[in-house]
Amino acid sequence: MAPTDGGRNSGHFSHCSIAAFRLFVKTLKAECFLVKSKTRYSQTPKELPGLKMNATRLCKKTYSKFKHVTSRLTTEFSARCQILCCIHDLGYCYAKNMIDGMSCGNSKTCLRHKCGYHGH
């Protein structure tokens, strides 16, 4: 598994992790695989959450305990699917990963911390 969010394998498990999962699953009893819920849950969102989220709103939600929070978008950070959240109460800005679907410039969007043409 990726050691940090946004790292080289962000969003993807390593071969070693997958092997460990498979080994663990083989130890489970058959009853563990029975579906007991009567509710059917959708696994695929109809729309990525970032399509309705702008940078300032994300920063304000992330740092909701502070009163004066703004966002700053730079080409350098956007290319890495990050924004700067500035907390004026503290006088600091912090890098925050964009959420899937947020714009990272030039008609591109972020998906799993990668800026590109993902076709949503």
The pTM for the full model equals 0.66
| Architecture of the domain spanning 41-116 | 3-Layer(aba) Sandwich (3.40)
- Please list the residues that pair with 114 across neighbouring strands: 111
Cα–Cα distance, 83 to 112 (Å, whole number): 15
Write out pLDDT tens, residues 56-96: 999 999 999 999 999 999 999 999 999 999 999 999 999 99
For position 83, what pLDDT does the model report? 97
For position 75, what pLDDT does the model report? 94
For position 69, what pLDDT does the model report? 97
For position 5, what pLDDT does the model report? 60
Cα–Cα distance, 89 to 112 (Å, whole number): 31
Write out pLDDT tens, residues 12-50: 788 998 999 999 999 999 888 888 888 877 666 678 899
Q: Are 80 and 6 in contact (CB under 8 A)?
A: yes
Count Cβ neighbours within 10 Å for each residue of 91-109 and write b for 16 or more, e otherwise: eebeebbbbbbbbbeeebb
Q: What is the mean pLDDT of residues 103-110?
A: 93
The residue ranges of every structural domain in the chain are 41-116
